[in-house]
Amino acid sequence: MSKRAIYYDTETTGVKSDKDRIIELAAYDPVQNRTFCEFINPGIPIPEECTQIHGITDDMVKDAKSFKEVGQSFFEFCQGDVILIAHNNDAFDKHFLVHESRRASLIMPNFPFLDTLKWARKYRPDLPRHSLQYLREIYGIEENRAHRALDDVIVLHKIFSLMIGDLPIEIAHELAYQQGGSNLTQMPFGKHRGEPLDKLPKHYVKWLAGSGALDKPENEILKQAFEKLALL
């Protein structure tokens, strides 16, 4: 059974996950077409410089629930065989979830995560920048309320869907964290998905190359694998 992608984002009181707090948590499940978005009372003042970025004030979160309540609801929203996806996740959002869960004595499920910033840097080295808003412009996505959690989540889903095409999310996850050269051994998409690369019909590999599919940045590892097998 295929994994389900859940896109998520956090807005915070700062950038240090061991000291700062989450003040907004949002997620989008495109498979089940559900959204999640909650303000969180951080228990500390929101610095003015942070409010200038995301627009969230102390007054907006003063009556909000604690992370213990919101976090538990978020984990329930993410139930199932899922991959949690965020932009700059590995250096930011995931760390905030971990620290907030510890502070609230919540047991965070052992989610697999995917960082779309890492993916973009790896498979779009032709781009000078990889911020969410720059990618939004490159991929022609309509302008949103930048740095508000749910808006950024919806935009991220649109961008990443265009970036990976019909690549299954679990394969995208595998490729994002694959180190060094290509160790790909099975066809990741298409009518021969799951079949060993060295058993694919030669005319199919030739057709892939001729169609330009292997020239896409996201298929660079597949191209390297074919070259390694002398199929190209």
Identify the H or E element spanning 96.
helix 93-103
Which residue pairs from 190-193 have beta carbons closer than 8 angstroms and sit at least 24 positions apart in sequence?
190/166, 193/168
Q: End of a domain among 155, 173, 191?
A: 173
The reported pLDDT for the residue numbered 223 is 87
The reported pLDDT for the residue numbered 85 is 98
Say if CB 201 and CB 162 are below 8 A apart: no
Q: Is the pTM of this model over 0.85?
A: no
Catalytic residues: 147
The reported pLDDT for the residue numbered 182 is 53
**Residue 211: is it exposed, middle or buried by C-beta count within 10 angstroms (0-12/13-18/19+)?**
exposed
The reported pLDDT for the residue numbered 143 is 82
Q: End of a domain among 173, 198, 220?
A: 173
The residue range of the domain holding 189 is: 179-228
Say if CB 39 and CB 56 are below 8 A apart: yes
Give 30-80 pLDDT, tens digit per residue.
999 999 999 999 999 999 999 999 999 999 999 999 999 999 999 999 999
Give me the CATH number covering residue 158.
3.30.420.10
Tokens describing residue 46: 């929101």
Question: What stretches in the chain show pLDDT beneath 50?
Answer: 181
Say if CB 211 and CB 203 are below 8 A apart: no
